[in-house]
């Protein structure tokens, strides 16, 4: 039986198409006469959080839960079950954060106050990158899709760590301790052989709340919860059941809603001077140039030195195409940009840089993968 995330990433491109349409619709609405209503709705309070925060911090935790379940499965029983398979995406993700930061600092670091934005181009937007990859259907081998997913997960976890260390004003020790205790209880239940899902889901909700209150980005709770969900040798394990239950909701509801809520950026008042300023150029260069150079270069070096093997069935051109797709920063980059700069003018420049670098990465990566020759069939 194919796993839930593999169905999402595999030959069926419907989920990716829905995501791209949702993002395009958001851009149109944000620059239309109803733009004020669109932004007002997103920032309307629903209890303690705005609608936008409920989507980004709440619903997207379910997406990361689904991704975490798949990664756990691959680490224990699949393509990432050996160190040789694990090392490549970790090396690629690390280089894919360091090199873009250096590009940014090279373009904008010398300008007063702009060095705070060094982390903006370090993030990969997993939802949009996977959406573009899904449009390619069978032209990208399964190993390459898993490679992109793993890079993006490591990258996002690195981005969360950066936010906590560099941009979070205060971390709540008691809330972090509560999260650790909850995670420990979930792990204990798994070791005791509990197969019912509802206790894990109840504790995962409490874990999400504790992580949210801790000051760390709440979506990391999804990945942490996935690590505690038990997996067995049969297809009726808690992990299997949760994966297949989450898949349709994530692919056709949560991810498109996330795209619609976050892709709406207004271009009102933005001129050529904003586009050519050091801040947007640094962000765009980091995403488009830094990501592809860091990821593809590190993969080539890792393979050349015998540290890892190229993804099975993928050509070097296809690997390069995936490195380009990792330059889609978008939501997490915009989020970090909002933390780094409060000035409205700089915020507009952040949006331009993120949109420019992400769009270039998406178009070039898609084009290269669309016409790239396939790699050798794995033996």
**β-pair type (49-50, 45-46):** antiparallel
> What confidence score (pLDDT) does residue 8 get?
45
Predicted local distance difference test score (pLDDT) of residue 14: 61
User: How far is 131 from 174, CA to CA, in rounded Å?
Assistant: 38
| Host H or E run for residue 99 | helix 83-108
Domains of the chain, by residue range, sit at 4-371
Q: Quick one: pLDDT at residue 379?
A: 46
Structure tokens given for 258: 């996330």
Would you state the pLDDT for residue 291?
97
Among 377, 330, 368, CA closest to 156: 330
β-sheet bridge partners, residue 46:
49
Distance from the Cα of residue 147 to its chain's centroid:
13
Query: Within 10 Å of residue 359's Cβ, how many Cβ atoms?
Result: 16
Residues of the chain with pLDDT under 70: 1-16, 78-80, 137-138, 160, 164, 168-170, 234, 269, 344, 372-379
CA–CA separation, 232 and 195 (whole Å): 10
Question: What is the topology classification, in CATH, of domain 4-371?
Answer: Na+/H+ antiporter like fold (1.20.1530)
Per-position DSSP letters for 131-193, written without gaps between them: HHHHTTGGGS-HHHHHHHHHHHHHHHHHHHHHIIIII-S---HHHHHHHHHHHHHHHHHHHTT
Each residue's pLDDT tens digit, 158-190? 776 787 677 766 678 899 999 999 999 999 998
- Rounded to 5 degrees, what angle do the CA atoms 146, 151, 157 make? 125
Q: Which two tokens stand for residue 42?
A: 């997103």
What is the structure's pLDDT at 363? 93
């Amino acid at each position: 039986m194919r796993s839930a995330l593999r169905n999402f990433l595999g030959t069926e491109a419907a989920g990716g198409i829905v995501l791209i349409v949702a993002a395009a619709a958001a851009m149109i609405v944000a620059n239309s006469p109803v733009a004020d209503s669109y932004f007002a709705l997103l920032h309307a309070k629903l209890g303690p959080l705005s609608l936008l925060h409920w989507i980004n911090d709440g619903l997207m935790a379910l997406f990361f839960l689904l991704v975490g379940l798949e990664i756990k499965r691959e680490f224990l029983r699949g393509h990432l079950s050996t160190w040789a398979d694990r090392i490549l995406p970790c090396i690629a993700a690390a280089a894919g954060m360091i090199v873009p930061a250096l590009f940014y600092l090279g373009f904008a670091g010398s300008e007063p106050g702009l060095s705070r934005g060094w982390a903006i181009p370090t993030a990969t937007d997993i939802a949009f990158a996977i959406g573009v990859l899904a449009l390619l259907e069978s032209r990208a081998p399964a190993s390459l899709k898993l490679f992109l997913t793993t890079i993006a997960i490591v990258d996002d976890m690195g981005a969360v760590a950066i936010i906590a260390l560099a941009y979070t004003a205060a971390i709540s020790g008691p809330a972090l301790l509560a999260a650790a205790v909850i995670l420990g209880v979930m792990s204990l239940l798994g070791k005791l052989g509990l197969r019912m899902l509802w206790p894990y889901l109840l504790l995962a909700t409490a874990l999400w709340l504790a992580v949210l209150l801790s000051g760390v980005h709440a979506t990391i709770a999804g990945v942490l919860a996935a690590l505690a969900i038990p997996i067995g040798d049969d297809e009726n394990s808690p992990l299997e059941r949760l994966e297949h239950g989450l898949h349709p909701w994530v692919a056709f509801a949560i991810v498109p809603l996330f795209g619609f809520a976050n892709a709406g950026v207004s271009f009102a008042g933005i001129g050529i001077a904003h586009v050519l300023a050091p801040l947007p150029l640094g962000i765009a260069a980091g995403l488009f140039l830094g990501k592809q150079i860091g990821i593809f270069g590190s993969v080539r070096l890792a393979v050349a030195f015998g540290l890892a093997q190229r993804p099975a069935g993928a050509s070097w051109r296809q690997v390069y195409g995936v490195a380009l797709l990792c330059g889609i920063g978008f939501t997490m980059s915009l989020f970090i940009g909002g933390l780094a700069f409060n000035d409205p003018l700089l915020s507009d420049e952040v949006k331009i840089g993120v949109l420019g670098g992400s769009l270039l990465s998406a178009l070039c990566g898609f084009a290269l993968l669309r016409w790239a020759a396939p790699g050798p069939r794995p033996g």
